[in-house]
Structure 1
């Protein structure tokens, strides 16, 4: 009965097949560094099994690397023909790569024993244009904010890594299965870059334990697909563009500040992925304790330490860029406030000119007064002249008075050689080192100045004593 249920389940999986899946198996005997099987259902399991068996037989020392682009429910039947007892967990990992929105730290898939697989789901990050330029495609249009969606920065990869005991044909062959989405960029990476990059690695065919295997696979995929330096260069370019727009006032201030707010939001999003990469590397670094002491000299661990240091530096750089964007936003508001202050000054001048005339008009509008209308003209002309003179001369007079009362002076500090460390010295000359016979130039200058004053005002005996003290 269990066999019949399994047979029915397989027949049902055949009916759900909608599109073929390309499965590539790495091989050094192929000019493209891999062999490919296009599977459209569980009936193709035998073809895939023969391909894997031939590869293991031809290169028994090489790790078995398999790349799968896409997901179908019958994929577990394909993998079950070659992989021992783990096919359901592998299929679930592939499904998460295709449809889930979260990432997963490297971790063991189960606790059943030592020979259990390690898995992770990671979003690699790079400039979207780099991904599309690599496949000779134009990048898609961005949204109204002027930025690509964060989805375009991501290149999702899921990995299933088992050091040994997984391959049905040879239990000593390490097995690694990679999952990507069926996109043009992913197809290009897998068919043109991935296998050649792994095969050229000098540590590709080195015997490794499970812990070392997952660290090696994680780090190599990271260096192949992630480039934070590219992203930082892109952000610096957009920062320079924002500074130019702010300086030349090319766009309305609301548009400029909104664009810069979008940049800051994007920086926060990118930092989340960077922090995940950093935490993932740090988690893998802890596996070094499980490696025998004689094998901890593997350059892999040094490479991972370097990656953590680089990620910390990138995080600091992103913080600096975020601060510069915030400073530019604050500058925009300060400039806007200064413009409003200037506009209010013009309004004050207008009020100074027309307010006395308005007051005069209100006086002549009193019905109990019977002044001739010509008097209004005679009074208005000198009042306008006086108001105009005050409006023009009063600010100038205030500035002149302020300059006289509070003169603007520039304080320039004189640099002194003894305050700096000269070439070949370890400390500045003005530093007194306890126990050192090096004379202090500060003390010498002070005594010399005192001697000069005594020569002018003091006595000869005091001068002789001071000279003896100096010598």
Structure 2
């Protein structure tokens, strides 16, 4: 399936690859099995073909919004679009250029300050695990084993939108128009041709009448739900964290390599947080448009979806903070372990010096040439010195620990756990629940156990309670 997809893409992108500056424009349509019709344009002369495609769609389905996807940028693109789309924004092709070549993002905002009837625009980098983008379109993801972890560029899916709203289409002024710009790469092409239009047309709210402000909110949120999944990114980060912990505890790699890999993960976390916060700020900015819509339209489920998205993003933000802290703690642990290893090595050298330094000094004394010593005297002196050095070396740490225990006895104190300090199993249940083995059950069982003929309690219950109290 993946190979067939590659072949279809190669046939569709052949003109682009050979450099004839062709741009593929897809216009959404209910009549097509793939929910869009496609036209290839190479210059302003192809504008009539594009206009006929849009006109046929509008006349066939007059109540459907016109969704147009464009996979490239050329200076003449504005002339093609103006053949059937009102030129409210004189630099419409600039948005496509920003998507293709620029690296900055743009908040949803009016494209011009000239009046109310101007389009809304935004440029957003959607974020997901790189493999997910390929798996979603039945393509094999590239391998990054030789290059290490994927760069942040592979997590991004860049999209620009031009929400014209009503009044933009020449053929029907009541039909809203939305133009989506993507890049001409395999993943973007497959997402647009295999997923995006199907996703839009399966939405129950696709053809609901909306004002321009609601239209940009609907388009922004639907593209976000389709292309961005922070839960996938967090899952991948957790996997990387588990790998780092296994490597740290098992000492599987050199410490320099382990810390370098974790530093790269922390750097990626900082980058992810920048994109996440931009998504969060964009949603919050769009939420303010609710005040501008009529009262009856404020009950649209669209606004609840946006509220949920903001809550999820805030939760993801705190999760990324905790993961970043865990990575930093692991890096600190690596340094602490390395310092402990170096300290152990130093203590070993200290022990060796303590053992042999007196013998070395004794050998130097016997090596003085102006004094004649009998060789056997060195042996008589070296044996006691060696015994004294060894005794001092091994007994001194023990003596220090004993002195510390007497001077600072708090270090040897241990708090004994008491059952009354903890909530026992069953105690947190309601009073009408009888859990065998719990204190509440025994006390309650004793209180409600029927008395004997003489008014006394059965002995078995007393034994159980006395045993529990002991």
TM-score (norm 2): 0.83
Q: Distance in 2 between matches of 1:209 and 1:69?
A: 27
The match for 1:388 is: 390
Q: CA deviation at 1:72?
A: 1.6
Q: CA deviation at 1:368?
A: 3.0
Task: Note the 1:94-105 alignment, pairs <5 A.
Answer: 94-105=96-107
Q: Could you say what secondary structure the match of 1:416 adopts?
A: helix
Gaps of 5+ in 2: 1-18, 432-470
Q: Could you say what secondary structure the match of 2:121 adopts?
A: strand
The match for 2:113 is: 111
Q: CA deviation at 1:295?
A: 1.4
Q: Distance in 2 between matches of 1:52 and 1:289?
A: 33
Q: CA deviation at 1:417?
A: 7.3
Structure 1 residues 246 and 179: alpha-carbon distance in aligned structure 2, compared to 1, 3 A threshold: same
Equivalent in 22, 27, 30 of residue 28 of structure 1: 30
The match for 1:183 is: 185
Q: Could you say what secondary structure the match of 1:277 adopts?
A: helix
Q: Distance in 2 between matches of 1:203 and 1:134?
A: 24
Q: CA deviation at 1:356?
A: 0.5
The match for 2:416 is: 412
The match for 2:429 is: 423
Q: Could you say what secondary structure the match of 1:113 adopts?
A: coil
Equivalent in 358, 361, 373 of residue 356 of structure 1: 358
Does structure 2 retain, via aligned residues, the 8 Å contact 1:125–1:155? Answer: yes
Equivalent in 343, 346, 349 of residue 345 of structure 2: 343
The match for 1:13 is: none
The match for 2:245 is: 243
Structure 1 residues 336 and 176: alpha-carbon distance in aligned structure 2, compared to 1, 3 A threshold: same
More off after superposition, 379-388 vs 233-242: 379-388
Q: CA deviation at 1:300?
A: 0.5
Q: Distance in 1 between matches of 2:372 and 2:393?
A: 32
Q: Could you say what secondary structure the match of 1:361 adopts?
A: helix
What CA deviation, in whole Å up to 9, does each residue of 1:185-228 have, x standing for no partner?
00111000000100010100000000000000000000000000
Does structure 1 retain, via aligned residues, the 8 Å contact 2:89–2:111? Answer: no
The match for 1:448 is: none
The match for 1:139 is: 142
Q: Distance in 1 between matches of 2:403 and 2:116?
A: 87
Structure 1 residues 182 and 140: alpha-carbon distance in aligned structure 2, compared to 1, 3 A threshold: farther
Q: Distance in 2 between matches of 1:232 and 1:87?
A: 39
The match for 1:82 is: 84
Q: CA deviation at 1:391?
A: 2.4
Whether 1:65 and 2:71 are equivalent positions in the alignment is no
Q: CA deviation at 1:87?
A: 6.1
Q: CA deviation at 1:44?
A: 1.1
Whether 1:197 and 2:203 are equivalent positions in the alignment is no
Equivalent in 123, 129, 142 of residue 121 of structure 1: 123
In the comparison of the two structures, how many residue pairs are matched? 408
Whether 1:303 and 2:309 are equivalent positions in the alignment is no
Q: CA deviation at 1:403?
A: 5.7
Does structure 2 retain, via aligned residues, the 8 Å contact 1:124–1:222? Answer: yes
Q: Could you say what secondary structure the match of 2:168 adopts?
A: coil
Task: Output the aligned Cα RMSD.
Answer: 2.0
Q: CA deviation at 1:90?
A: 1.7
Q: Distance in 2 between matches of 1:42 and 1:142?
A: 45
Gaps of 5+ in 1: 1-16, 426-471
Q: Distance in 2 between matches of 1:129 and 1:392?
A: 59
Does structure 2 retain, via aligned residues, the 8 Å contact 1:79–1:87? Answer: no
Q: CA deviation at 1:103?
A: 0.2
Whether 1:173 and 2:139 are equivalent positions in the alignment is no
Does structure 1 retain, via aligned residues, the 8 Å contact 2:110–2:119? Answer: yes
Q: CA deviation at 1:33?
A: 0.5
Q: Distance in 1 between matches of 2:209 and 2:178?
A: 14
What CA deviation, in whole Å up to 9, does each residue of 1:271-324 have, x standing for no partner?
000000000000000000101112110111111011000000000000000000
